[in-house]
Structure 1
Amino acid sequence: MPTDQHGLTIGSASGAAVRHYDNAIHELLHFRPEVVAEARAALEEDPGFVLGHVLSAYLGVLSTEADNARAARERFAGFRAGVDASGLSPRERAHLEAVEHLLDGDFGTCGALLARITEEHPRDALALIAGHQIDFFTGDARSLRDRIGKALPAWHEDDRHFGQILGMYAFGLEETGDYDRSEEAGLRAVELDPKDVWGIHAVAHTYEMQGRFRKGIDYLDARLADWSTGTFFNVHTWWHYTLYALEAGDTARALDVYDAVLHGPEAAETALQLVDASALLWRLLLEGDDQTARWKALADAWTPKMDEPFYAFNDVHAVMAFVGAGRFTEADRLIASRESAAASGRLGVSNHAMTVRVGLPVCRALVAYGRGDHDGAVEALYPIRHRLNEFGGSHAQRDAVQKTLLEAALRGGRLDLARTLVGERIDLRPSSPFNWLKHAAVAERLGDRAAAAAARSRAAGLRAATDL
């Protein structure tokens, strides 16, 4: 029987199909668009190639695009109808079961089944990367770390893809708050492979969480050629760059990136990219920066993607765009459609809980904030602020919601709450100019001008510093 590049038995598949499959996994581990063509080529070489169909199904669903998921479901159903699973290896059967749950919208069961595959086959790169993506989409920080961590002993530094596995582990370390080890692992991953976008991404997150915005800018600038083109991560990493720019007080630079990359003339307008565009403009909206023209174009891009419910995290960012564009009717319509879908059981297994427990409250809060109902925004967000992870994303991404709660409390006169929220932020990221500026705003509202002036001076000093 043939084996893949990591020494695992493939089952019955042609040599050419396996080579394309290996190439596809290589491209997927680098998060490059070529994965799609290589996966397609594997199935063209061998239409009955089980893991080729599994890979194709994973790619369709993990794009978070409802249309792609529907098409993947239909393709896989046609393939599955002609397969006698009794003749497959246990690993192939396990992947079939896992991907069937994923296609049914059950992210949790799929992730658990993939974890079992990893326990028996820690060098199964497909199980690792698909599971890692599921952990991200479900906001399971511990599994982001431990799913990869328990497989690491089976990998060695001379393995072709050790760097990518280590880079994913670094992201899990960052999401669980182990920033020193995350930075160390991420930097090592990139040392092993300068184009390891997983490692670069993990380091970018680490510097963001620590408020080391100057260090983040320098790091990304030094590696621009390695991450800025030819990868699905390029737009998202540029988004991290804009967060650093905002901390540095350089809004113009952030908007230049927005226009050139996040939602520029050549933007692919995938849901993953539109999320980043919404997340940047919403941060500007919270600071009173009117970007009406950009919001309108972004809302237009979101509209055709919202007919069918698929992923609550995307819904929230679409509502940001509708509110930012002043199109409250569309925001209300989206919320009503998700409420109806939840009531009739049409949201899917995992997305139902995400939507009901987090997505809908956040959407309602965004609309309330946009309409000037700051108390309404606070009442919707405060009870769920410690479980926002349940609808996916990273700490950096979900911070837009936390900032909305803070700004609503400040503008609504809930100054004790605002002071508490700012205090929490400063304790976690004392080197963030944003946090000190919000401390100044709260102090000003409380009548403590000396504290406000000191906080503004601290923010200015942080922005002028060169060693963060």
Structure 2
Amino acid sequence: MEEDRYGLQLSTASAEAAAAYREGIDLLLAFWPGATAAFERAIMLDPDFALAHAGRARIHAIYQQREPALQTIGRARKLVATRGTAREQSHVATLSLAIEGRGAEALTATLAHLANWPRDAMVMALLLGAFGLLAFSGRADHDTARRDLCDGFAAAYGEDWWFMSNHGWALTEAGELAKGRDITTRAFALRRNNAYAVHALLHAMFEDGSVDEADALVTDWIGGYDRAGMLHGHICWHQALGALDRGDAAKALAVYTDVLRPAMDTAPPLNTLSDCASLLWRLMAEEQPIPPDAWAEVSTYAHNRFAGSTLAFAEMHLVMIAAAMHDNAGLKGRLAAMERRLAEGNLAAGRIVPHMLRALRAFAEGNWRGCARELAPVIGDLARIGGSHAQRAVIEDTYILALIRSGALAQARDMLDARLHRRPSARDTRWRALTDT
């Protein structure tokens, strides 16, 4: 009987197909190139191996290749119905819900599945990370929910490099920085070809203010990670954030130009959208020069990839683009759609979304008071957008700059003092000095 690396039965008689599947899972969980080829090799060796099709569908979904994803997971459902264990049938059904975009149902199904098969890492992975089902659930407590989930499953996984990468990052996002960084460091030591662990370490370094250490980590490690890797661009984005913290806007812009811009990046679309839009917005907000066609290039990419988006996290970045380009018609349409969904009770992130949309538009127009007024009642709800602390910080930054520029110095000072208490930041120190004038 063939098994995966976690001891779960695989319904294939081909040892070679099982080995290829195990390789594909490890590469996917590490966000390392080669997972697609491994799953396709498993399918070639055993065309009726349902879980190999499910793994391939998952990658299609990550890259927002909706039709291939639906076709491939549909094939997996048919195969697993006639040749699959109860665990495999539940595995495929749960992945199907996630791939179909049925987030609330997928979240419920994932938790039910894990109650029976806690070591099914591919299913657990759906819940975790900045783009997982919990992060995009609209819950304000999704950071602590991920931490609690990982705490509860730690005994089942032991010293597993994938689980520890996630457990460490979940602890970091929930505010347990020292413990989170320690576990993530141990995970990285177990498997250095693990972009997920490097990424989690960079988040820990962001949270504890280790800007120079983060820069050194990226510089020393990134050369061994192919640019086709899912997280290549995003890891470099973290380096750009560090450059901005040090006041080196030229280096941040070089990262954008050389790595992140849509013509250069091969990352999943949501990474490309969020990394490009948020870095350009940060540069613009700090009144740094950007290439004259940069926003237009990102806008074209977004229009082609996110025309029907309803995700609050994507919406945040789409509005940054529209606001920066002063696309008033587009902004009006987006705002009307969000207000309508909010009234219908169909907006998981709730009221923060239309407030955020109006605030970004006001900021781009130089209406600092308007921006601050819109964000003031919802600034404590940023977690509901999803993503990570580092990604959501762009909205906090926008609010602080709007406060400073509108003359609300005491409010800006209080926010900056709170952030500096949590972590040292050269940029926040510079901004803090502005509030004393």
Partner Cα distance (1:130, 1:39) in 2: 18
Tell me the equivalent position of 1:261.
259
Partner Cα distance (2:197, 2:67) in 1: 31
Tell me the equivalent position of 1:185.
183
CA contact (8 A) 1:115 1:147 kept: no
* Structure 1 residue 104, shift from structure 2 partner: 4.2
Q: How many equivalent pairs are there? A: 429
Tell me the equivalent position of 1:315.
315
More moved, 286-295 vs 219-228: 219-228
Residue pairs, 1:126-275, within 5 angstroms = 126-133=122-129, 134=132, 135-138=134-137, 140-157=142-159, 162-227=160-225, 229-263=227-261, 265-268=263-266, 270-275=269-274
CA contact (8 A) 2:118 2:156 kept: yes
Tell me the equivalent position of 2:386.
392
Tell me the equivalent position of 1:72.
69
Evaluate the alpha carbon distance shift between residue 335 and residue 305 of structure 1 in structure 2; reply closer, same or farther with a 3 A threshold: farther
CA contact (8 A) 2:338 2:353 kept: no
Normalised TM-score (structure 2): 0.88
Pick from 360, 363, 369: which aligns with 2:363?
A: 369
CA contact (8 A) 1:118 1:151 kept: no
Partner Cα distance (2:356, 2:146) in 1: 24
Letter in 2 for 1:437: R
RMSD over aligned Cα atoms: 2.7
Normalised TM-score (structure 1): 0.83
* Structure 1 residue 395, shift from structure 2 partner: 0.3
Partner Cα distance (1:168, 1:373) in 2: 40
Letter in 1 for 2:369: D
Partner Cα distance (1:50, 1:21) in 2: 11
Letter in 1 for 2:73: F
* 1:270-321 deviation digits (Å, cap 9, x = unpaired): 2312211111111111112242432222222212223212422112112212
Tell me the equivalent position of 1:297.
297
CA contact (8 A) 1:227 1:233 kept: no
* Structure 1 residue 25, shift from structure 2 partner: 0.1
More moved, 195-204 vs 109-118: 109-118
Partner Cα distance (2:262, 2:62) in 1: 24
Partner Cα distance (1:39, 1:414) in 2: 56
Tell me the equivalent position of 2:49.
49
* 1:218-270 deviation digits (Å, cap 9, x = unpaired): 23223233446452111111011011111111111111111110116432372
More moved, 94-103 vs 17-26: 94-103
Tell me the equivalent position of 1:463.
none
Partner Cα distance (1:93, 1:375) in 2: 55
* Structure 1 residue 408, shift from structure 2 partner: 1.6
Evaluate the alpha carbon distance shift between residue 344 and residue 306 of structure 1 in structure 2; reply closer, same or farther with a 3 A threshold: farther
Gaps of 5+ in 2: none
Partner Cα distance (2:24, 2:237) in 1: 26
- SS of 1:122's partner is coil
CA contact (8 A) 2:359 2:372 kept: yes
Letter in 1 for 2:405: R
Pick from 392, 401, 416: which aligns with 2:410?
A: 416
Letter in 1 for 2:24: A
CA contact (8 A) 1:132 1:144 kept: yes
Letter in 2 for 1:274: L
More moved, 333-342 vs 276-285: 333-342
Fraction of identical pairs, as percent: 25
Evaluate the alpha carbon distance shift between residue 404 and residue 99 of structure 1 in structure 2; reply closer, same or farther with a 3 A threshold: same
CA contact (8 A) 2:50 2:75 kept: no
* Structure 1 residue 427, shift from structure 2 partner: 1.9
Tell me the equivalent position of 2:5.
5
CA contact (8 A) 2:261 2:276 kept: yes
Partner Cα distance (1:230, 1:416) in 2: 46
Evaluate the alpha carbon distance shift between residue 228 and residue 419 of structure 1 in structure 2; reply closer, same or farther with a 3 A threshold: farther
CA contact (8 A) 1:58 1:99 kept: yes
Gaps of 5+ in 1: 445-468
- SS of 1:105's partner is coil
* 1:356-413 deviation digits (Å, cap 9, x = unpaired): 4333332221112112232332232222222221221000000001111111222223
Partner Cα distance (2:62, 2:355) in 1: 24
Partner Cα distance (1:230, 1:404) in 2: 32
**Is 1:28 the equivalent of 2:23?**
no
Tell me the equivalent position of 2:425.
432
Letter in 1 for 2:412: A
CA contact (8 A) 1:144 1:171 kept: no
CA contact (8 A) 1:115 1:127 kept: no
